Structure 1
Amino acid sequence: MFWFLRRIGISLLLIWLVSTIVFLALHVVPGDPAEILLSSGGVAPDPATVEELRDRLGLNLPLLTQYGNFLVGVLQGDLGTSLVDEYPVVTEIALRLPRTLELILAGTIIAVAIALPAGTYAALHRGGLFDRIASGAAAFLLAIPVFVVGTLLVLAFAVELRWMPAGGYVPLAQDPGRHLLLLLMPSLAIAKGLAAVVFRMTRASVLDALSRDFVRTARAKGISPARVLTHHVVRNALVPVLTVLGLHMGTLLGGTVLVEYVFNWPGLSTPLLRAVEARDYPMVVGIVLTISGLFLLINLVMDLLYAALDPRVRAA
């Protein structure tokens, strides 16, 4: 229990640090949000109007007061109101976050479903034809940026072959078939890098486990090869694989921005890019805080899985 509470305490501390850094960083970036909001066609707004808007938005308050109001709002579940459209930040995030999470979850499932058995098979047949081809493909996929993969998928399957729509979004409840069809290509674009990393880590971990004394002992006892593989090799190889998977699932939260843009998927990327451009402090901080919290939550879940797979972790 102490181990679990310590992990939660560290996660909460990191969320506070991230939110503080982002809040302060946005306030030192050049540009007045009120002036940006009132600018139109390159014409400078009236100074009195700018000052009135700054007072209404609370931007004339001392920085510490703004920061204190921000922390109180976060503790109350209130991330403020967007400076651009005056919608509550929580409402915007609640609408778009499930779409981003759906994209990440689908990409992760595809990556793990392909890479985990492929990495295990490559390790069991080290140096064989499949091992060489799969290892080369993994290195190739790691070298290609995600936006290039997304563009190539659109060019191949939407433009040339016309098998799939180029992009867009349809709610699952409205049309499940088209929703899954629109989800497929962006999920594949996200899965390519994660699949390559999981494959390489799985292969290396299984090879390491195969050389351990406990595997040789299990074989000497006459335990069936299938049981040795599932209960001794794969179980011990999963710990480093989970580490990599947890880290990369967290980075996918930020990496989906380009994928959502290429495939016109209405996730968190659109309001985030718009908020950065308009110096919309509440929206930027709210989205970054949400992404950071999810990243730490994913890693906390991975820590719990480590403890389930390896009891020595709880004693660390």
Structure 2
Amino acid sequence: MLYVAKRLAVSLLLIWVVATVVFMTLHMVPGDPAEVLLSTGGTSPDPYAVAELREKLGLDRPLLVQYAEFLERLTRFDLGNSLVDDYPVAEEIALRLPRTLELILAGTLIAVVIALPTATYAALHAGGAFDRAASATAAVLQALPVFVLGTLLILLLAQWLRWMPAGGYVPLAQDPGRHFLLLLLPAVAVAKGLAATVFRMARASVLDQLSRDHVRTARAKGLTQGRVMRRHVVRNAMIPVTTVLGLQMGTLLGGTVLVEYVFNWPGLSTPLLRAVEGRDYPMVVGIVLVVSGLFLLINLVMDLLYAVLDPRISRS
């Protein structure tokens, strides 16, 4: 319990640091945000309109007061309203975030299901034809940009073969079959880089465990290959793999923007791109804070998973 409390306290501290950095970065951007938002075609905005918008955004108050109000709103999960359509930022994120998370989880599941067995088999037959082919494929996938793979998938499977729809979204409750069909291609695109990374790490980790003394001793005692792999190799090999998997899942939170755009998947990318183009600061800040918080949450879950895989970690 002490280990869990420590990790939770560190995560809360990091959330506060991220929120502070986001707030300070917003106020360090050159120029008056109100003037920038009201400027069109290079003309100077009406000073009265600028003053009114500054008051609406709270920019006319002292910086410390703005910071205190910012933190107080965060404790209530109040991210303000969009400057474009005056829609609550939290509600927009609550609508879009589950779709992005679904895409990430589906991609992660595909990557793990493919990469872990492949890496284990390749490590057991290191140097063989399968190992060389799998390693080469992982290298190619690692280097292939996600938007290129997405375009190729659409061109091959949707345009030429007409096996899959090119993109779009249907709510799960409306048509589950169509929903998962539309999810498949973007999930494969998301899984591409993650599968390559997990394969390389898992293969190296399994090879390292296979060379350990305790594994050789287990084999000398007459344990079967399957039992040796389950009890002495795979579990220990999963600790570094879990580290990489957690970091990559956090990275995918920001890396799905291109995938969602290519496949027209209505996740967080649509409001984020619109907010950046329209300089909708509350929306940008809200999405950045939510993504950062999820990244920290994933790291917390990974830390707790380490303790399950290796109980010695929780006693350190």
Calculate the TM-score normalised by the size of structure 1.
0.96
Alignment of 1:145-184 (within 5 A): 145-184=145-184
Q: What code does the residue aligned with 2:92 have?
A: E
Partner SS, residue 256 of structure 2: helix
Q: What code does the residue aligned with 2:303 have?
A: D
Aligned to 2:70: 70
CA distance in 2, matches of 1:71, 1:34: 21
Aligned to 1:51: 51
Alignment of 1:185-224 (within 5 A): 185-224=185-224
CA distance in 2, matches of 1:237, 1:258: 32
User: After superposition, what is the alpha-carbon deviation per residue over 1:69-120, rounded to whole angstroms, capped at 9, x for unaligned?
Assistant: 1100111221222222111111111100000000000000000000000000
CA distance in 2, matches of 1:70, 1:87: 18
Aligned to 1:310: 310
> Structure 1 residues 138, 80: CA separation in 2 closer, same or farther (over 3 Å shift)?
same
Aligned to 2:137: 137
Q: What's the CA shift for 1:36? A: 4.3
Q: What's the CA shift for 1:42? A: 5.6
User: After superposition, what is the alpha-carbon deviation per residue over 1:54-78, rounded to whole angstroms, capped at 9, x for unaligned?
Assistant: 2122222222222111100111221
Aligned to 2:281: 281
Q: What's the CA shift for 1:156? A: 1.6
**Stretch moving more, 46-55 or 236-245:** 46-55
Partner SS, residue 298 of structure 1: helix
**Stretch moving more, 229-238 or 61-70:** 61-70
Aligned to 1:300: 300
Partner SS, residue 311 of structure 1: coil
CA distance in 2, matches of 1:189, 1:86: 34
Q: Where do 5+ consecutive residues of structure 1 fail to align?
A: none
Q: What code does the residue aligned with 1:67 have?
A: Y
Q: What's the CA shift for 1:45? A: 3.2
Aligned to 1:117: 117
The number of residue pairs the alignment matches comes to: 316
| CA contact 1:32–1:279 (8 Å) conserved in 2 | no
Partner SS, residue 85 of structure 1: coil
User: After superposition, what is the alpha-carbon deviation per residue over 1:202-237, rounded to whole angstroms, capped at 9, x for unaligned?
Assistant: 111111111111111111222121111111111111
CA distance in 2, matches of 1:52, 1:293: 32
CA distance in 1, matches of 2:187, 2:44: 44
Partner SS, residue 253 of structure 1: helix
User: After superposition, what is the alpha-carbon deviation per residue over 1:248-275, rounded to whole angstroms, capped at 9, x for unaligned?
Assistant: 0000001011111111111111111222
Q: What's the CA shift for 1:175? A: 1.1
Q: Percent identity?
A: 73
In angstroms, what is the RMSD of aligned CA positions? 1.5
Calculate the TM-score normalised by the size of structure 2.
0.96
Aligned to 2:239: 239
CA distance in 2, matches of 1:60, 1:263: 42
CA distance in 2, matches of 1:146, 1:92: 26
Aligned to 1:264: 264
Q: What code does the residue aligned with 2:306 have?
A: Y
**Stretch moving more, 115-124 or 298-307:** 298-307
| CA contact 1:209–1:237 (8 Å) conserved in 2 | yes
Aligned to 1:90: 90
Q: Where do 5+ consecutive residues of structure 2 fail to align?
A: none
Q: What code does the residue aligned with 1:147 have?
A: F
Alignment of 1:91-110 (within 5 A): 91-110=91-110
Q: What's the CA shift for 1:276? A: 2.4
CA distance in 2, matches of 1:31, 1:187: 40
